[in-house]
């Protein structure tokens, strides 16, 4: 099986340890020295990445035991313990930075997503991520979005059809692009089309399209789009995207679109502060 | 040879393309359709990551030619072209997101680093990165720091000795930790010790230590540290770290420390806005 | 990128050549001996696999040039040349068996698929493959089906939702299974449900389901299914599967179902006879 | 060690699961749901591939336990249980198709081989496979031949010398080809020569050749070949090949040849019907 | 294809370069600095390993051109140029040690083998290597033996049958061991048996054995072995092994054995002195 | 993590076992036959490589248990048992040669190193290895040097700066080379410079250099070098290299240099005699 998470874990350990390993810890700790430490939150955050932190230790030295003290998606405040790590001191400290690098970034994504998810609570609109994830971290970033309360858009280019302007230009028309997509892709894939005007939306509603992505439209236009959809093609799903921020996300949701997708959830999250404290 | 950058490029393509590839582009473009597009900056930024973007296309479809129109480290404004991409349309658009994900994040690091580097210009103090890089992107993130005008700290745990509190605790004393490190590591590695008080600095100055990392010290204490070093051990290098921000970095540099290391350069940078526009 | 075809080519060469290579050819041909040969059909067939045969030689010895003399999907009779192979004799003959093993099996699939496709010509029903492909050959087998005139069902478990009896049993009801699937999967995936009775079909038609797979139903029941669909849910797609043979495929198609999927296309095809003749 | 079977198992899972896994089962089963099922024969067959089916589950999710209820080589009738599979439902059903794809094809080879082996029972002639195996499945296909009662010819090009017409042409004569092979290969390898006429056999008998492959000869000629061998070179082994079918295999065996090799055992076997039934 | 030589080249570069590369050369040479150097013999030697040295540079930096000025197997004296290396200075010097480590060790094997080969010249006896090669260098070490004028024994455990005392003990008797080996292995493999007494040789001559390895026998016994063979089984091949040194190898060869195998050729060779001199 | 030792173990097994495995043992031992054997020293030696021998068996067949009866670094005489190996006979004997090839070579290095280390005992000078290790065996060879009582120089080109003549030539002067190295490399790496005359040493002492390697100097010059260092730059470390032999190593050490590095420890060691005796 294609273990993409295992691959990025190995890569992260490889770049930090090289052929020679942690020369400081090798020199200072004996091979049988044991240690115990706690992963501690240093600010308010939503946890994500506990599994991959555990895999860092499993790959580095399986005798180091990483025991989560909470679950992905949990809210934690500064000073709370997130996990216990115990085992040979050399391995425990050699893996510290790599495990924390994952936890800090993924919890950062979950924390930001939670804020967006709360902002639209009650509207019925669903918050989606995008493909603007850190290269090599797609599965992890998307799991962190789920931990924060968002939902996932397609995983990649292989499991969803999304027709954009360059496809339309190549096909000559939106109608032709949709025809080609329907003919070329297998029957279990829906077709989504990206439009940037109400006129394009009207055109899309005349075609066998399942979802329309409304790109960078004003709140007013989004409202009109929802209205026209109700009249002409009630089963059609609408997704708003472009310029989504904490300040405007609720207003967008209240237009009645089915989905809001926001690249900022993954490419705009900052790493939150998490440390590893020796007992 | 251990090609870590090639590995993360392959991983990024793999997670986006899966076994099935870009189903939309496969359906819409013919196998012989050609396309040409430009990587365009959508805001003011410092460029980084051109090489890895080129490698994305080399790995995905070697017939797609990625030609840089500037160099890593160049400042560019919104609307300027950074590179030209030309070749088979399927490959060109299939690689768009992956190439941009790299460019946006790495240019984000370079842009932030440039701001820090300018802030301390003329002080003689050098700006360093840390190991708080995105897992699997160590070499790329560190190259982006260099593009922005910073310098690199050690690459990983394997090519530098840095004694921290947990090492000192295990050894029983700083002196013993230094002794073990000197005995265990090969002669071409220097020894750096992390301290968080002037008292610890004094202790370190009595030992065969090459660099002292002053962790989370006040500006006043950093000044005192520099003074005492001048008196007692002029050859000793001093590095300040902890809580470094754009607002305080110049004040820290003006204390006379040799280096400032800042995790925020890599873990706090946001992705800058870069697009791929069809000609 | 995840090069599954490259992987199976390397595996095939590895098992045939081992660490020692083709000991006979190494002993008999000199390193600079050249040879030229033709891939020749020994029976009437539809060609498939030319690309992978070319990749066998590219992986084995890039100086051996494999030049197709026809295209995948072409019908050829006994004695016709399908490709020319030329280059160092050692590599040319070392790759013979591996290249032919691919060509014979894939052309076998294309040939059988062509027979099925012709049998249903004019009915408007589309012929689909299944996941019953040779392990490790999924992409190749599915390309051979296309070469023969069939179309592909989903690539694998990752790019399409197909709810079967064990899913329904676990969920407690078909309705609950569909609810979970719609909630858990991303919005760009359609939902297909497998049913084996008209009663189940009725139930499925009351749910947000896009396709129904009618498993092992009689021709009479398939006709009834098509009728009821027309009345109750005209947009619903119907797929017939189970026991599909050349003898009954047209009758099935004439019931009015949208798709017929047949595992036999890939797991029941025999290798056709193709040889490599020295010039 | 070079784990070719592990490689093809990983490849098979990779192509079916992609980066995203079994989206249907992930959505419907909970992470702790358990399931139990039985691998059941749906027709009369000779079992092969139990080990590789177990490895599919070991690679996919080691918590799914695959317990064989019979052994490779056993004859089983429709409705009999071949193995029990139990563990987490997600993994169990995600691996179903891949495990069955292996079992159906390998049991198909074993079943066909058993029929050939029975047909020549009592003649003293041994049934051999060829290198016409499914690419990437060489070790598995050859083990299935043994399970069916056949024996293996050389594993690949690396562990046996077989001189064919193109080698003879390159060397200028059979004698020269044999000389080169004997000089170039190490002493522990025998030399086999392929001939297609009695005249060539006579020539081969004058050379230091251990085995002669009689290609596509008539029954009458095979008998003559056996006779002449008895007279002139009793220690020489004779192998018949080409056009071997169930209908003529006994007649070939009764000519007195030592071996019959039949590509049809591996490239002509159809997949037998085997299912996975939930308890 | 299974590229074992490529694997060991990559491994050798990986252990020398780590993730960080040649930090000295990176710091001192510019990216566009060019250099030219010559591989120079510093003592009298037989050359081997030119191909793998070229592959070191191809893997490290394909712009560095390694041009052999002689061929494997050539005798060269101190001060003679063996190859020219030219290209970017960083890559040229980064690969120096790895390329030389291969050349020095492999030329050492070729040089020692040449001495043994000359010692037995004219006796008709052939000099063989063993499996006592440097782990991971089997193909290279065996090619160096050929360059020195020796011949190869089997490549590994997979392409030749050699029955030793532990096999005989397990089978209960030499006869039974031979029976099992003949039944279990395919027909293209010969059978060799290791014996350490003339009595065992007699027993072996009564069995279907192709070669006998006479282990650690005295010159006198070897002579007797050859005599008895001539009388009783003229086609049997005899191989002497054990304690073979330059001082006794001719005496052993003159006993009339067909082969002498000597582990010392590969495990006892010292690295010869070869340098890389800048132009 | 980058498991270089695992990689060379897999490579060594792969080259010996190929796709087909140990055909002799497979034919003669049953799958359930058990065996027990002892690794026995056949001459006086210092043990090294027990861990990698254990890994050979772990990789080949984890049911074969390798239990060390001594530790790396122990002195053992002819006939003493070094380890016990027990488990399935097929795996035990299939791994014999690979495990012994590692043990014989690594114990050879440890044994030779011990002789050198004893020769300089009491002088305060430390014995170092070089990068002249067997390609792919760097970590193992260096561990064997430590087992013998030596210490390691840098691991590779990535974790230490060593300026040689070609660097000086490219930079234009030693001073410029040191400046570039200091500017380009990170602060935790020391700088070593190779010189071959006292004049060059004087120049180096005027620069920010940490260690000087005195290449191929006479005993007299080495003594002068030590004297001048004491006078002018007492903190500078001196390393002697070139032409180090057991006969002259003590004289070199007595000059007062801090380190002696000797390539002969790894490239000049012969394999010691170790066998595997069935119980």
With beta carbons less than 8 A apart as the criterion, state whether C132 and D274 touch. Answer: no
Residues of chain D predicted below pLDDT 70:
1
Report the pLDDT value the prediction gives residue F1, as an integer from 0 to 100: 52
Touching check for D124 and chain B: CB below 8 Å? no
* Angstrom distances, CA of residue F75 to CA of B123, C77, F71: 59, 75, 9
* Angstrom distances, CA of residue A217 to CA of A160, A239, A261: 23, 11, 13
Chain A residues closer than 8 Å to B14 by CB: 2, 4
Report the pLDDT value the prediction gives residue B20, as an integer from 0 to 100: 86
Report the pLDDT value the prediction gives residue D1, as an integer from 0 to 100: 53
Q: How much of chain B is helix, strand and coil, in % rounded to 5?
A: 45, 20, 35
CB atoms within 10 A of CB D182: 16
Helices (H), F1-95: 4-17, 23-28, 50-60, 89-94
- Active-site positions of D read 97, 132, 164, 194, 215
For A132, the enclosing helix (H) or strand (E) is: none
State the average pLDDT for chain A: 96
Touching check for D93 and chain C: CB below 8 Å? yes
Residues 193-252 in B contacting A (C-alpha not used; CB under 8 Å): none
The fraction of chain E above a pLDDT of 90, given in percent, is 96
Out of F89, F97, F161, closest to residue E170 by CB: F89
Report the pLDDT value the prediction gives residue C278, as an integer from 0 to 100: 94
Report the pLDDT value the prediction gives residue D20, as an integer from 0 to 100: 86
Best probe of the D interface among E186, E236, E257, by most D CBs < 10 A, is E186
The subunits that touch chain B, with at least 3 C-beta pairs less than 8 Å apart, are: A, C, D, E, F
Residue of chain C whose alpha carbon sits nearest to that of D37: C166
Give me the residues paired with residue F148 across strands: none
For residues D164 and D194, what is the distance between their CA atoms, to the nearest angstrom? 5
* 8 Å CB contact of D153 and E192: no
pLDDT > 90? residue A121: yes
pLDDT (tens digit per residue) in C70-115: 999 999 999 999 999 999 999 999 999 999 999 999 999 999 999 9
The subunits that touch chain C, with at least 3 C-beta pairs less than 8 Å apart, are: A, B, D, E, F
pLDDT > 90? residue E1: no
pLDDT > 90? residue E50: yes
pLDDT (tens digit per residue) in D84-132: 999 999 999 999 999 999 999 999 999 999 999 999 999 999 999 999 9
User: Which position has the token pair 């429709």?
Assistant: D78
Q: How far is D43 from chain E (nearest CA, A)?
A: 31
* Torsion angles phi and psi, residue F237, rounded to 5: -95, 140
For residues F86 and F34, what is the distance between their CA atoms, to the nearest angstrom? 7
Touching check for C1 and chain B: CB below 8 Å? yes
For residues A141 and B234, what is the distance between their CA atoms, to the nearest angstrom? 47
Which two tokens mark A254?
A: 């209240």
Chain B residues closer than 8 Å to C1 by CB: 10, 13-14, 17, 59-60
* 8 Å CB contact of F14 and D4: no
For residues F181 and F176, what is the distance between their CA atoms, to the nearest angstrom? 9
pLDDT > 70? residue F139: yes
* 8 Å CB contact of C17 and E1: yes
The subunits that touch chain E, with at least 3 C-beta pairs less than 8 Å apart, are: A, B, C, D, F
State the average pLDDT for chain C: 96
* 8 Å CB contact of C13 and E1: yes
Report the pLDDT value the prediction gives residue E95, as an integer from 0 to 100: 98
pLDDT (tens digit per residue) in C135-155: 999 999 999 999 999 999 999
Report the pLDDT value the prediction gives residue B1, as an integer from 0 to 100: 52
Touching check for C18 and chain E: CB below 8 Å? yes
Give me the tens of pLDDT residue by residue for chain C, a chain 279 residues long.
Answer: 568 999 999 999 999 999 989 999 999 999 999 999 999 999 999 999 999 999 999 999 999 999 999 999 999 999 999 999 999 999 999 999 999 999 999 999 999 999 999 999 999 999 999 999 999 999 999 999 999 999 999 999 999 999 999 999 999 999 999 999 999 999 999 999 999 999 999 999 999 999 999 999 999 999 999 999 999 999 899 999 999 999 999 999 999 999 999 999 999 999 999 999 998
Best probe of the A interface among D19, D27, D55, D94, by most A CBs < 10 A, is D19
The reported pTM is: 0.95
pLDDT (tens digit per residue) in A149-207: 999 999 999 999 999 999 999 999 999 999 999 999 999 999 999 999 999 999 999 99
pLDDT (tens digit per residue) in A51-76: 999 999 999 999 999 999 999 999 99
Which two tokens mark F182?
A: 């200091």
Task: Please report the DSSP string for chain C in residue order.
Answer: ---HHHHHHHHHHHHHHTTT--HHHHHHS-TT-EEEEEEEESSSEE---HHHHHHHHHHH-TTSEEEESS-TT-EE-TT-EEEEEEEEHHHHHHSHHHHHHHHHHHHHHHHHHHHHHHHTTTS--EEE--S-PPTT-HHHHHHHHHHHT-B---SSTTS-EEE-HHHHHHHSSHHHHHHHHHHHS-TTB-EEEEESSHHHHHHHHTSS-SEEEEES--HHHHHHHHHHHHHH-TT-EEEEESS--TTTHHHHHTTT-SEEE-THHHHSPPPPPEEEEE-
Report the pLDDT value the prediction gives residue B58, as an integer from 0 to 100: 97
Q: If pLDDT is split at 50, 70 and 90, which confidence band does F109 have?
A: very high
Report the pLDDT value the prediction gives residue E20, as an integer from 0 to 100: 86
Burial (CB count <10 Å: 0-12, 13-18, 19+), residue F172:
exposed
CB atoms within 10 A of CB B237: 18
For residues B130 and A277, what is the distance between their CA atoms, to the nearest angstrom? 19
Touching check for D58 and chain A: CB below 8 Å? no
For residues D91 and D87, what is the distance between their CA atoms, to the nearest angstrom? 8
State the average pLDDT for chain F: 96
With beta carbons less than 8 A apart as the criterion, state whether B140 and B5 touch. Answer: yes
For residues D38 and E40, what is the distance between their CA atoms, to the nearest angstrom? 68
Report the pLDDT value the prediction gives residue C20, as an integer from 0 to 100: 86
With beta carbons less than 8 A apart as the criterion, state whether A187 and A210 touch. Answer: no
pLDDT (tens digit per residue) in A27-47: 999 999 999 999 999 999 999
Query: In this structure, which long-range contacts are made by residues A178-182, counting pairs with CB atoms below 8 Å and at least 24 apart in sequence?
Result: A178/A207, A178/A208, A178/A209, A180/B27, A180/B28, A181/B24, A181/B27, A181/B28, A182/A208
pLDDT (tens digit per residue) in E60-95: 999 999 999 999 999 999 999 999 999 999 999 999
Q: How many residue contacts between A and F have a Cβ separation below 8 Å? A: 24
Chain B residues closer than 8 Å to E18 by CB: 2, 158-159
For residues A141 and F38, what is the distance between their CA atoms, to the nearest angstrom? 52
Touching check for F71 and chain A: CB below 8 Å? no
With beta carbons less than 8 A apart as the criterion, state whether A88 and A37 touch. Answer: no
The reply to whether C154 belongs to the active site is no
pLDDT > 90? residue B2: no
Q: How far apart are the first and last CA of chain F?
A: 38
Report the pLDDT value the prediction gives residue F20, as an integer from 0 to 100: 86
The predicted model gives B189-206 an average pLDDT of 96
The reply to whether E215 belongs to the active site is yes
Out of A15, A104, A170, closest to residue B33 by CB: A170
Give me the residues paired with residue C241 across strands: C215, C261
* 8 Å CB contact of A13 and F4: no
Q: How far is B186 from chain F (nearest CA, A)?
A: 6
The fraction of chain D above a pLDDT of 90, given in percent, is 96
DSSP letter (8 states) at residue B19: T
With beta carbons less than 8 A apart as the criterion, state whether B213 and B192 touch. Answer: yes
Query: Which residue, B169, B197, B167, is CA-closest to B182?
Result: B167
Report the pLDDT value the prediction gives residue A20, as an integer from 0 to 100: 86
Chain A residues closer than 8 Å to F156 by CB: 19-20
Q: Which of the residues E22, E194, E203, E258 is marked catalytic?
A: E194
pLDDT (tens digit per residue) in B97-131: 999 999 999 999 999 999 999 999 999 999 999 99
DSSP letter (8 states) at residue F233: -
Q: How far is E22 from chain B (nearest CA, A)?
A: 12
Q: How far is CA E1 from the centre of its chain?
A: 22
C257 Cβ partners below 8 Å, 6+ apart?
A: C125, C214, C222, C225, C226, C238, C239, C240
């Amino acid at each position: 099986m294609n273990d993409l998470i295992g691959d990025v874990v190995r890569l992260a350990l490889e770049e930090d340890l090289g052929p020679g390993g942690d020369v400081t810890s090798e020199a200072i700790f004996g091979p049988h020295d044991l240690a115990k430490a706690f992963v501690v939150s240093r600010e308010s955050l939503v946890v994500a990445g506990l599994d991959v932190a555990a895999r860092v230790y499993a790959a580095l030295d399986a005798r180091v035991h990483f025991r989560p003290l909470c679950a992905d998606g949990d809210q934690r405040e500064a000073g709370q313990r997130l996990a216990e790590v115990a085992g040979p001191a050399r391995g425990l400290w050699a893996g510290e930075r790599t495990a924390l690098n994952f936890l800090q970034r993924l919890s950062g994504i979950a924390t930001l997503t939670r804020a967006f998810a709360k902002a639209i609570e009650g509207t019925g609109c669903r918050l989606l991520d995008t493909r603007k994830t850190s290269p090599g971290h797609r599965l992890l970033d998307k799991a962190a979005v789920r931990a924060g309360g968002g939902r996932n858009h397609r995983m990649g280019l292989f499991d969803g059809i999304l027709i954009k302007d360059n496809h339309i230009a190549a096909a000559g028309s939106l109608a032709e692009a949709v025809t080609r997509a329907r003919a070329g892709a297998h029957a279990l894939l829906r077709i989504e089309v990206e439009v940037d005007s109400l006129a394009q939306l009207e055109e899309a509603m005349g075609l066998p399209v399942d979802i329309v992505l409304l790109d960078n439209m004003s709140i007013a236009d989004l409202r009109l789009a929802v209205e026209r959809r109700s009249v002409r093609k009630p089963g059609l799903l609408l997704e708003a995207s472009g310029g989504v921020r904490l300040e405007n996300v609720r207003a967008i949701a209240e237009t009645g679109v089915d989905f809001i997708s926001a690249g900022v959830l993954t490419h705009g999250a900052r790493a939150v502060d998490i440390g590893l404290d020796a007992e």
